[in-house]
Amino acid sequence: MSHELLESDGDSSLDVSDFNWDDYLEENGAVSVPHHAFKHVDQGLQTGLTPGMKLEVCVRSETDQPYWVATIITTCGQLLLLRYEGYHDDRRADFWCDIMTADLHPLGWSREQSKPMRPPEGVREKQPDWEGVLEKALAEKCSAPANLLEGPQRGKDPVDLMSPGCSVELQDSVDPGVAWGAEVEENMGGRLRLRLAGTERLPDTHSTLWLYYLHPRLHPPGWAKEHGCTLRPPSALVPLHTEEEWEEVRQRISNQPHDEALSEEFYKDRPAIAAHCFTEGMKLEAVDPTSPFCISPATVIKVFSDECFLVKMDSLRGDDSGAEGVGSFLCHRDSPGIFPAQWSLKNGLPLSPPPGYQGQDFDWADYLKQCQAEAAPQHCFLTEQSDHSFKEAMKLEAVNPISPEHIHVATVTKVKGQHIWLGLEGLKQAIPELIAHVDSLDIFPVSWCETNGYPLLYPIKPKGGCPKIR
């Protein structure tokens, strides 16, 4: 399928600075998807410091600069609005400080370091028994985490924690008991360009991939060992080295130091996985994540645990029936892109028959009889909600599933429950509309690329005559 980029006359690159979202929206009479609709983007900008947390801060107004307890009132990026303990609801003495420059520590730090603790004069006037106030505050279990106030993670947004050179482990897309190491080569607003371990100095094909930092396949170093998973390189990479060379790489992955604070950041924004009730052989409708352009019949071909199972897109051709990894993907109960049989029909959507299907119109009853199979019951699937802000004709930015290094201007063309259909712009030839969940990690608000210095592919206006193609 062709997905070459469209260029205007004389253009040799598609610089995001050439494109203005405000002008584009005005010219097209369009509106953008609200920023708050992209939960993963908002999560990536939350430092983890929240209102109500307490910390110890240096009281610079006192000559000996003691420390005192303060409560976080609100946050704004690296800035914290603090209120000294003892002021209660009096906000007149609230003050702002920068995490990167202020002298901030978790509760208990001053005593551990034998530093003096005394409130500012205003608190001493209000609270004669300020020592009792201090003891009560230190006994509370609401301290800001030390790793967010001190050390290399101080002041960093979650999206920035995995910097270039950082090591991660990547769970296999088909077998949850297998993982492999990777290194972060780029971090663009939380989108990580990963190079698989053992592919250094090799071409990017099969060696690199892009994933958002919240992707469920991503884990911190040591995860595989902790969960009893096998470290095994992807099958496409195996011929590149001898078994002895791969063993050296495996040892290098195993010896990566474990960072407890980073591990906490990996999982703090990830929802818990609920138990499913799927069994092997059940039929359903699904979107293939590697080619998310249509909905087709699929089968649960393996159940690994009460949390995850393997789904394979159906094919009635005999050539790939035994290839477990082809058209297969891991799922849990709440995975996007899986639906009960007849979901497409009930929502007025076309269902693409499996390759090799004989007949004009697909019929689920006949198909189940032909396959001697049963459809997964409705209760196996998450109840669909429609509490989101996506509407038809709204604009956003979206990853091209054919070439994930490219992000395009996109239009919402259809909305059904929690799933949206997107048309990408900036392509030589139109590809089918892609299907995405509203919580997809591969869609972004308008201007996300500009904010993060990443190229955005957009429709080019011809400058007098036919546009050039590259």
Percent of the chain with pLDDT over 90: 71
Mean pLDDT, residues 27-42 taken together: 94
198 touches 237 (CB < 8 A): yes
pLDDT of residue 466: 40
Q: What is the β-pairing status of strands 295-303 and 338-339?
A: unpaired
Q: Reply yes or no on whether the pLDDT at 285 is more than 60.
A: yes
229 touches 221 (CB < 8 A): no
Considering only 1-15, 112-126, 369-383, which range has the smallest mean pLDDT? 1-15
Rounded distance, CA 104 to CA 100, Å?
Answer: 9
Report DSSP letters for 88-134, one per residue. TT--TT-EEEETTTS-EE-TTHHHHTT--B---HHHHHH-TTHHHHH
pLDDT band with cut points at 50, 70 and 90 for residue 463: low
Cα separation values, 204 from 103, 108, 200, 240, Å: 44, 49, 9, 13
pTM of the model: 0.81
pLDDT band with cut points at 50, 70 and 90 for residue 251: very high
Q: Which residue has better confidence, 1 or 74?
A: 74
Considering only 67-81, 199-213, 240-254, 363-377, which range has the smallest mean pLDDT? 199-213
pLDDT of residue 9: 33
Sheet holding 419-424, edge to edge: 434-437, 419-424, 407-416, 395-399, 443-444
Q: Reply yes or no on whether the pLDDT at 105 is more than 80.
A: yes
Q: Reply yes or no on whether the pLDDT at 163 is more than 90.
A: no
Considering only 14-23, 60-69, 70-79, 357-366, which range has the smallest mean pLDDT? 14-23
pLDDT of residue 449: 96
Of how many residues is the chain composed? 470
Q: Reply yes or no on whether the pLDDT at 142 is more than 60.
A: yes
pLDDT of residue 10: 32
Q: Reply yes or no on whether the pLDDT at 379 is more than 70.
A: yes
pLDDT of residue 151: 75
Across all residues in the chain, what is the average pLDDT?
88
Rounded distance, CA 91 to CA 249, Å?
Answer: 57
Q: Reply yes or no on whether the pLDDT at 464 is more than 70.
A: no
pLDDT of residue 281: 97
Report DSSP letters for 301-337, one per residue. EEE-SSS-EEEEE---STTSTT-TTTTEEEE-TT-TT
Q: Reply yes or no on whether the pLDDT at 36 is more than 50.
A: yes
pLDDT of residue 78: 83
Rounded distance, CA 281 to CA 299, Å?
Answer: 6
Nearest to residue 171, comparing CAs of 159, 187, 182?
A: 182
pLDDT digits (tens, 9 = 90+) for 432-449: 999 999 999 999 999 999
Q: Which residue has better confidence, 430 or 120?
A: 120
Considering only 232-241, 266-275, 402-411, which range has the smallest mean pLDDT? 266-275
Q: What is the dihedral of CA 214, 215, 220, 223, to 10 degrees?
A: 140
Q: Reply yes or no on whether the pLDDT at 296 is more than 80.
A: yes
Q: Reply yes or no on whether the pLDDT at 469 is more than 60.
A: no
pLDDT of residue 304: 96
Which domains are assigned to the chain? 6-34+389-469 (2.30.30.140), 54-149 (2.30.30.140), 158-267 (2.30.30.140), 283-380 (2.30.30.140)
pLDDT of residue 329: 95
pLDDT of residue 115: 96
Q: Reply yes or no on whether the pLDDT at 364 is more than 80.
A: yes
Q: Which residue has better confidence, 163 or 18?
A: 163
pLDDT of residue 319: 59
Mean pLDDT, residues 385-406 taken together: 93
pLDDT of residue 261: 65
pLDDT digits (tens, 9 = 90+) for 307-326: 999 999 999 987 554 455 57
pLDDT of residue 390: 97
